[in-house]
Each structure stands twice: as C-alpha cells, then as structure tokens.
Chains A and B, each alone.
Chain A
Amino acid sequence: MSAEPDTGLEAQIAQWRTYMLRRRGMHDADVDELEDHLRGRIADLAGTGLRDDEAFLIAVKRMGGLDELSREFAREHSDRLWKQLVLTSGPDAGDTSRRRELLAMVVCAAAGAIAVKVPSWAGLGIADDADFYARNAGLLALAPLAAYFAWRRRIGAKVIGLLALLFAVGAVAANAYPLADDAQSTVLTAIHLPLALWLVVGVAYAGGEWRSERRRMDFIRFSGEWFIYFVLIALGGGVLTAFTIGTFEAIGLDASTFIAEWLLPCGAAAAIVVAAWLVEAKQSVIENMAPVLTRVFTPLFAATLLAVLVAIVWTSNGIDVERDVLILFNLLLVVVLGLLLYSISARDPAAGPGVFDWLQLALVVSALLIDVMVLLAVTGRISEWGFSPNKSAALGENVVLFVNLAWSAWLFLGLSRGRMRFARMERWQTDYVVVYAAWAWAVVLVFPPLFGFA
C-alpha cells in the first residue's frame, strides 16, 4: 500500500462500505473484516503493476456478488435475521403469497374468535361458567395459533399428529378431572395449561424442528416480540372499549354486555393470532423491541434489587412470608429471567465480555440472594402447615427458576472473566425450555390427582 492515502481509492472503498452495510445481516465488524480483505487484495494486485482503481475493480469483482455474499453471511448469522430466515422459504415472497398469508391469518384469527364463542352456544356463558373458560381459554385461543403455524411452516402429517395429540391431552386434563369451581387446582390449570400449550405452539413455530437449539432460540425471540405486539394491541383494544362504552352511553344504550361477551373475549383470541402474524410480517417495524427494553430495564432492576438487599441487611428485617409473597417472588424471578433471556437472544455470540455482563450478573445474583431468603422462610412454613396445591406449585416454580438462574449466574461469571464461550449460555437456556414444558405439564396432569382434586 502506498504511504500517502490515495483519495480516489479511499473514496471508492468508503462507497463500497456503505453498500455493504446496507445489506441485512452485515454488521460493522464483518464489513471491517471484509474491507481488510479487500485492501489486502488491492495491495497484492497493485504490486503486480495495476493502478489502484483497476486493482479496486478486480478486487471487488473477485469478492463476488453482494447478494450472494450477504446471503452466505445471513445463513451463518441467522440470529440477525431470524425472522426472515425462519419465515420466507424462497428469496422473495411475491404479492400473491403475501395475500395468501394475510388470508390464512384472517381465517385463523376468526377461528380463534369463533372458538371462544362456541361453548356459549352449548349453554356455557362466560359470566356463569367462568371456571370452564378459565380452564379452557388457553386451549381455545392457542389451537388456532398452532394451526396458523402448521399452515405457515407446511408441517408434515407426523408433527401435526403430535400437535393434535398434545392439544387433546390438554383438553382432557382441563375437563376430565372432577375439579370443583373454586378448587386451587382449577386456578393452577388455568395458569399452567396455556404455558404448556404455548410451548406446544413452539413446536409448530419451529416447523417440527423443536430439537434444534437455534429454532428454540428463535421461538424465545418470537415469544418476546409477540408479547410486546399483544400488549400494544391490548392497549389499542382498551381505547376502543372505552370509546365504545362512552359513545353508546351518550346515546342511551348499554354496551357493557356486548363488550364483556363479545368484544373482549373474541378480540383477545383474535389478537393472539394477529400479534403472531405481525411479528412475522412486520419484521423491521419494531425489530428487536424486547432486547431494547432489556437494555433499559436491566440496570434499573439490578439497582432496585441491590437496594432491597441493602435494606434487608441494614434494617435486619426478615422477609414477611405472607400468602402471596411466593407468587410475588416467582414473578420477580420470571422478570429477571426474561431480562436475561432477551439480552441473550440479542447478543452477538462472538462479542467479548462487557460491562453489561457484569450488570446482568449483579442482577441475577441479587435476585438469587433474595430468593434464598424467601425459600428458607417458605420451607419453614410448609413444614409447619403441610403442602397444598398452590404452595407446592409456587415452590416448584421457584425451584425451577432458581436452578436456571443459579447455573446462569455461574456461566455468567465464567463469561465475564472471559473464560467461557457465550454459546454455552445460549445452549443452557434453550435446553432448559424442556424443563419448563415438563413442569407445566406436570402441574396440569399430575397435580389434580396428587392432591385429591383439591
């Protein structure tokens, strides 16, 4: 390379850089690396007597088409483009296929909305048979979503059979057990069956490749984005509801029955499919919102938890084990786990340890310390009063989350000190999804008979 920078060549390289960076799936570091490659080749070519601009042309030509190059990059770094890669099988989906997808979404969303109303035609009103809806809401609402993904991924008959079987098992567990309306197990089933079925939807989402670590990570990413879209739709729905009630009231009509019986349940069921479609179709609109939120809230949560720890030590107040305290701390662990998961899902696996990793470690460790205190207090209480379905479920969840976070903290420690590869952390989290599934199904299937349908 010549000592004084050749402005013509530099300008050409700069232009080439901007072209490269415009490609999806190309990151700054990749382009840096390729630029170094380009410069190496230009220097070699210039050494054989070519002028700089000639050398540049040949070097760029040798690098091959940008499309092909960026496609190869995208194939390796599927995490950067996870949505596009999972979704579109062909290079560019045409107008007709997009319209077909829209149609499929509308059909599935409508199926969800209708499914929620079907039981009421059989005489089960939402207001009168709330427990029936509590147990079956997940089934009715998630089956259309699973169907949507089954269509979208063109799933084979075998996997469809598996999905149908799992949903059938869920339906049996929700309805065959002789549970009283106000039994604790009814509430537990209402909470855990949707969770279990959500992971079944994950099987459909992965197109049957649920063993694949990367597909699982994709599903975790999808879940985060889906949740955000769902909340956004719910907010919009809230505004719509308020206006519906207000305007009908203004003309002297009471719309509350319509809202409670039709708008809310059907709207929510349809929104589940619509949110999934939005995540798939509108990839770049609010791309990777979950990781952004994670970045904002990780420091805040870490600070809060550390403050709680300091306060406990300072005042030497124990944690008062009220009825709901376990639930609260379970939720806290879920939030911490979410923060962890979504920073993992968006992390560049090749990036080295950074300040954020330490922050995350602080967050996880402080959550664990607080949780240990809660666990100790609760075990004392249980040994005094015995097990109930609620307590057992809450305790079990706590242990499941605790184990995950404890091992994550250990992995993070290795990561922050640069001793461990990030891929192991990813691996741990994707493997652990099986544990959630197993636990959720256990609560749904085993708990009711275990506790005498209490």
Chain B
Amino acid sequence: MRIAKDLVAASATPLVLGILAEEESYGYAILKEVSERSGGRLEWTEGLLYPLLHRLERLGYIASIWRTPEGGRKRKYYRITDEGRAELAEQRRQWAAVTEALQDVWKASRSFGPGSSPVWEG
C-alpha cells in the first residue's frame, strides 16, 4: 500500500517532532525510524526529510548540532526545543480531532471497511 502524497506531507511534521521528542537523532536514523514505525508503508525521500528538518529548525521547533564521535565522521544531530514540544502538542490535538472524525465516519460506513466487499456486489 502506498500512502498518498498529501497525507505523507501532512503527517511529516508531527512524526519528526514526535520522534525527536523521545530522543535526539540524525537524518538517516529518523528516516529509518519512520519506515519502521509505519511497517515500511511510509517511505520518505531525502528530498522530503532534510528540507523539512531545516524548515523546522528555522521555525525554532528543533535545534541542530554537529557532533563528531571519537574516530567517527561528523554528523548533524537534531533535538526538539520547548517551542517544538508546544507545536507537537498542538499537532496532536489536531490529529486527534481528525482521526476521531474519521473513526466516526468509518463506523457509519462499516460495510466499506478494509477487506469487505461493497454490499451491492453480493
């Protein structure tokens, strides 16, 4: 299953903020994390992830720092800021409202649920 582009874009910010709210991380690890959490259904491109990270940094939701581990290569780590946490909470509220509404609609049209075939075919 491929998730539609609009949906991927809309969910990108809360996903990044949510992942960084747990602990600081870097680009590739975030990408893998997103892929794992969605069971491989959300495949982000680098063209989505890095501009998004830079935008969130510009907005002050996350902050970055270059770290060079011993004997390793330098790597850019991101961590969430207080403003970012506030934004995450706000996004959570909005997403909760959306999913609640969707659940309601799904329940009303249960016969169209995943896997079941529409009634008039039977």
Contact = CB atoms under 8 A, between A and B. Distances in A.
Interface in A65-111: 68-69, 71-73, 75-77
B13 to A, nearest CB: 13
Nearest to A69: B47
The range of chain B's interface size is 20 to 34
A350 B46 contact: no
Nearest to B74: A32
B28 A36 contact: yes
Interface stretch (B14-22, B51-59, B87-95, B110-118): B51-59
Contacts of B74: 32, 36
Given A34-B50, A69-B46, A72-B48, A350 B64 contact: yes
A117 interface: no
Contacts of A37: 27-28, 31, 46, 50
A153 interface: no
Contact of A34 (B46, B48, B58): B46
Contacts of A34: 46, 50
B38 interface: no
Given A76-B55, A350-B54, A36 B46 contact: no
Interface string A188-222: 00000000000000000000000000000000000
Contacts of B58: 76, 349-350, 423
Given A32-B76, A36-B73, A68 B60 contact: no
A421 B60 contact: yes
A29 B60 CA distance: 19
Chain A interface SS verdict (over half): helix
A64 B60 contact: no
A72 B27 contact: no
Nearest to A29: B76
B51 A72 contact: yes
A103 to B, nearest CB: 36
- Chain B interface SS verdict (over half): helix
Interface in A22-60: 29-30, 32-34, 36-37, 39-41
A165 interface: no
B75 A72 contact: no
A33 B27 contact: yes
B44 to A, nearest CB: 11
Nearest to B75: A36
B50 A73 contact: yes
Interface string B71-86: 0011110000000000
Contacts of B73: 36, 39
Given A32-B76, A34-B46, A69-B46, A75 B51 contact: yes
B50 A423 contact: no
User: Which of A33, A69, A71, A73 has the largest count of B CB atoms less than 10 A from its CB?
Assistant: A33
Nearest to B30: A37
A40 B75 CA distance: 11
A244 B50 CA distance: 57
A307 interface: no
Interface of B: 26-29, 31, 45-48, 50-52, 54-55, 57-60, 64, 73-76
Interface of A: 29-30, 32-34, 36-37, 39-41, 63-64, 68-69, 71-73, 75-77, 349-350, 421, 423
Given A34-B50, A36-B74, A75-B51, 14 more contacts: A33-B76, A34-B46, A37-B31, A41-B28, A63-B45, A64-B46, A68-B45, A69-B47, A71-B47, A72-B48, A72-B51, A77-B54, A350-B54, A421-B60
12 contacts: A29-B76, A32-B76, A34-B50, A36-B28, A36-B74, A37-B31, A37-B46, A69-B46, A72-B47, A76-B51, A350-B57, A423-B59
Those 9 A-B pairs whose CB atoms lie nearest each other, nearest first: A40-B28, A76-B51, A72-B47, A69-B47, A37-B28, A72-B51, A421-B60, A33-B76, A36-B75
